[in-house]
Amino acid sequence: MAVGIFDSGLGGLTVLNAAQKRLPDVDFLYYGDNAHAPYGVRDAENIYQLTKAAMENMWDKGCDLVILACNTASAAALRRMQEGGLPQGKRVLGVFVPLIEALTERQWGDNSPPREVEVKHVALFATPATVASRAFQRELAFRAIGVDVEAQACGGVVDAIEDGDMILAEALVRSHVDALKRKMPHPEAAILGCTHYPLMEQTFQAALGPEVKVFSQGSLVADSLADYLQRHPGMQGNGAGGFYTTGNPGRVSDRATQFLRREITFQAA
């Protein structure tokens, strides 16, 4: 039995890694749409169609529950998929809500009305498509009032990470933080709104300063998933785990092995 984790590329491996540590007895099926990565520069309709095709492939492989570990897909496709109706017994969850629940100090699944929270000034770092969607602000508004969010589109960071050019990625992160701080000089918290960005968390923190609390998704999503599976134990699916990609399996396997510092072998989706 396997829970599905989907990303347009390799960033979702940060969520997978945290989930495997948190839930060692659960099998996971990872699906990377590397042939079409990155999603962050695509339009909403294209992202939706690509995400829908990936979900159907993962359902066919036996995943009843899929985590959209791609923030861009969560922002541009999740609500439309849910509102359009999912096949019976299938669930798709995004990665924004666990972050927002942590930011607003709510228990997992707390759907009470929005309320005042301690943090008032939040920096959001995300892909251009995620920023354009305003999905984070929409979900936050369901849970909190009086929070000022300044979003910074971090063009080029995902490409640099996927290419293994961490020097360029670090330079780009510092540039994007500088741009954000020109708009919001004193953020209290920062959201790393892309699953690639935890690899650059130290760079973000150093550029933002020690007084800014940085929220990263891996462990938060893993904890939320553990809570969900405890409440819905039948959602672990009936398929086998593994790693699948729409890209070149050999190249993606090499990148993934560098990414997680352990051997990962992908096969064609």
Q: Which numeric CATH code is attached to 2-95+218-268?
A: 3.40.50.1860
> What is the model's pLDDT at position 237?
65
Catalytic residue set:
70, 194
Average pLDDT score over the chain: 93
Task: State the residue for tokens 């009843």.
Answer: 64
Higher pLDDT, 38 or 6: 6
> What is the model's pLDDT at position 193?
94
Q: Is it the case that residue 143 has pLDDT exceeding 90?
A: yes
> What is the model's pLDDT at position 1?
64
CATH number among 2.40.50.140, 3.10.20.30, 3.40.50.1860, 3.10.129.10, domain 97-217 = 3.40.50.1860
Q: Find the helix or strand (DSSP H, E) in which 46 lies.
A: helix 44-60
Phi/psi of residue 115, each to 5°?
Answer: -145, 165
Tell me if 110 is assigned to a ligand binding site: no
Question: In the chain, which residues fall in CATH 3.40.50.1860?
Answer: 2-95+218-268, 97-217
Tell me if 64 is assigned to a ligand binding site: no
**Single-letter code of the amino acid located at 134:** R
Report the pLDDT averaged over residues 72-87.
92
Q: Confidence class of residue 111 from pLDDT cuts 50, 70 and 90?
A: confident
Tell me if 186 is assigned to a ligand binding site: no
Tell me if 71 is assigned to a ligand binding site: yes
Q: What one-character DSSP code corresponds to residue 76?
A: I
Assign 40 to helix, strand or coil.
helix
Assigned token pair, 115: 């309320």
Report the pLDDT averaged over residues 161-177.
95
pTM reported for the whole predicted model: 0.91
Q: Confidence class of residue 110 from pLDDT cuts 50, 70 and 90?
A: confident
On whether the CB atoms of residues 5 and 28 are closer than 8 A, the answer is yes
Q: Is it the case that residue 224 has pLDDT exceeding 70?
A: yes
Tell me if 7 is assigned to a ligand binding site: yes
Report the pLDDT averaged over residues 191-204.
94
Is the Cα dihedral 230, 263, 5, 94 positive or negative?
Answer: positive
Tens of pLDDT along 172-192? 999 999 999 999 999 999 999
